[in-house]
Amino acid sequence: MELSPDHALVLFSGGQDSTTCLALALTRYPRVETVGFAYGQRHAVELECRVSLRARLAEFPTFGARLGADHLVDLGASMGAIGATALTSEAEIAMTAEGLPTTFVPGRNLLFLTYAAAIAYRRGLRRIVAGMCETDYSGYPDCRDDTIKAMQLALNLGLQHRFVIETPLMWRDKAQTFALAEEIGGQALVDLILEHTHTCYRGVREQRHAWGYGCGACPACVLRAEGFRVWQGG
Ligand code: ZN
């Protein structure tokens, strides 16, 4: 199948970053599909957020007509077999001897991109949009720009197509990601992100802060809270 040059597949987890990426893709491209991954996350809340976020984004002017199919890939058994991490088990969130947090799932983004490219191949979508970010993450090696560029090359060779992997957040910190959301969809998009995206590693939805829901203490909450504070000029 030929790839449509301006059709896109967005890796969409239901978090702040991937929601911003999805909104951005919906402003740029006339056809946008989404893919999500179930991999035995401790908390299914992320996957539930995806569905309501897609429905709410479709209500924005022009987005509804552009938003296409959603694909959910169940990697539960295979990721579970890779072993315990703090995202897939009740292990504590802490730093390991290698300097990586225990939330690191080895090779997760490499797997995600490979599955995404296979779906994009079948669906004729040339652009693969993903929220990886090197700026203020925890040093996950599979979020790095070099890794993503190498994956693009490997996938293009291995699938014999010219995919373009776009990572619009690669060099933005969380404050700049809030700013980008405002630029794309104004306060309505910021409000949607605050109210309906999920980032907290512990899956906490009971506590609502100015920056959204979460425990307020895990690394993901700390980053999001700090980014919101900086963006607000606090
Ligand atoms: Zn948290």
CB atoms within 10 A of CB 157: 9
Q: How far is the CA of 20 from the centre of ligand 1 (A)?
A: 19
Residue 89 pLDDT more than 60? no
Most confident of 42-46, 100-104, 156-160: 156-160
Q: How far is the CA of 185 from the centre of ligand 1 (A)?
A: 26
Query: What mean pLDDT, rounded, does the chain reach?
Result: 89
Q: How far is the CA of 226 from the centre of ligand 1 (A)?
A: 13
pLDDT of residue 19: 97
Q: How far is the CA of 232 from the centre of ligand 1 (A)?
A: 20
> Structural domains in the chain?
8-195 (3.40.50.620)
Q: How far is the CA of 178 from the centre of ligand 1 (A)?
A: 18
pLDDT of residue 217: 93
Residues 125, 197, 233, 219, CA torsion sign: negative
Q: At residue 173, what is the residue type?
A: D
User: Which range (15-24, 32-41, 191-200, 220-229) has the least confidence?
Assistant: 32-41
Q: How far is the CA of 202 from the centre of ligand 1 (A)?
A: 5
Average pLDDT over residues 34-45: 79
Average pLDDT over residues 180-204: 94
93-151 confidence digits (pLDDT tens): 555 555 555 555 778 899 999 999 999 999 999 999 999 998 866 678 889 999 999 99
How far, in Å, are 59, 67, 163 from residue 185 at the CA level?
A: 12, 15, 27
pLDDT of residue 47: 83
pLDDT of residue 54: 98
pLDDT of residue 135: 83
User: Which range (134-148, 154-168, 174-188) has the least confidence?
Assistant: 134-148
Residue 34 pLDDT more than 90? yes
Q: How far is the CA of 37 from the centre of ligand 1 (A)?
A: 20
**Counting Cβ atoms within 10 Å, is residue 78 exposed (0-12), middle (13-18) or buried (19+)?**
exposed
* Residue 109, C-beta contacts closer than 8 angstroms, at least 6 positions apart: 130, 132, 140, 142, 143, 147
pTM over 0.95: no
Q: How far is the CA of 131 from the centre of ligand 1 (A)?
A: 19
71-81 confidence digits (pLDDT tens): 999 887 777 66
Full 3-state SS string of the chain = CCCEEEEEEEECCCCHHHHHHHHHHHHHCCEEEEEEEECCCCCCHHHHHHHHHHHHHCCCCCHHHHEEEEEEEECHHHHHHHCCCCCCCCCCCCECCCCCECCCCCCHHHHHHHHHHHHHHHHCEEEEECCCCCCCCCCCHHHCHHHHHHHHHHHHHHHCCCCEEECCCCCCCHHHHHHHHHHHHHHHHHHHHHHHCCCCCCCCCCCEECCEECCCCCHHHHHHHHHHHHHCCC
* Residue 29, C-beta contacts closer than 8 angstroms, at least 6 positions apart: 6, 7, 8, 66, 127
pLDDT of residue 39: 79
Q: How far is the CA of 225 from the centre of ligand 1 (A)?
A: 10
Average pLDDT over residues 77-88: 62
Q: How far is the CA of 218 from the centre of ligand 1 (A)?
A: 4
Q: How far is the CA of 194 from the centre of ligand 1 (A)?
A: 14
Q: How far is the CA of 157 from the centre of ligand 1 (A)?
A: 39
pLDDT of residue 157: 98
Q: How far is the CA of 83 from the centre of ligand 1 (A)?
A: 22
